[in-house]
Chains A and B, each alone.
Chain A
């Protein structure tokens, strides 16, 4: 598959669960991003990785934990989330940091 893929597409979890979101890009890009999209804040940057190194962390609560094992994969580990964390989580990649970004379809997360 080409482009940016995300799994799962939908996730429902309780506040005590631990789950992970996965993002994979097949574009040979060196930078990857996590965004949160909700009605309250349409597009909120969470984390930026460049060459597998975290370069930006926008005051995100520690219940969200990113991991970038290589330049093609990005994870977002979730634990003890709150209902207000329910949102669409978008992954994006770019050739290098600062270039135009290509987005995945997102994971629709619902926290009960």
Chain B
């Protein structure tokens, strides 16, 4: 079965420090990868998708097919980035979410 792994359940960094949220997937075809974010008391929402190659709120993610990874990065974390982050894989008619990483940005 296709899988998405996020090895860290919780990641704590200090404000202004770089942050990297790891995501690995298992799929042999052409995947579509996404990052979703859920801020406290807000709905789960799409942060970015790999096909757009965009930067949202300072976050970027590059698809590395060789390493089957789609890590989310931001050079300088802000306190408002504290949230739950889910990596997701779309393949064919299926869509699977990873277990999520809770990012806590400390002042």
Contacts and interface: CB of A to CB of B under 8 A. Distances in A.
A43 B94 contact: no
Contacts of A105: 42-43
B43 A101 contact: no
Interface of B: 32, 34, 42-46, 49, 84, 86, 88, 90-97, 99-100
Interface in A84-111: 90, 92, 94, 96-106
A9 to B, nearest CB: 11
Interface of A: 41-43, 45, 50, 90, 92, 94, 96-106
B100 A98 contact: no
B3 to A, nearest CB: 13
Contacts of B92: 98
B43 A106 contact: yes
B84 A94 contact: no
B95 A98 contact: yes
Task: From B44, B46, B99, name the one whose CB has the most chain A CB atoms within 10 angstroms.
Answer: B44
Task: From B84, B94, B95, name the one whose CB has the most chain A CB atoms within 10 angstroms.
Answer: B95
A50 B43 CA distance: 22
B49 A98 contact: no
A87 B59 CA distance: 30
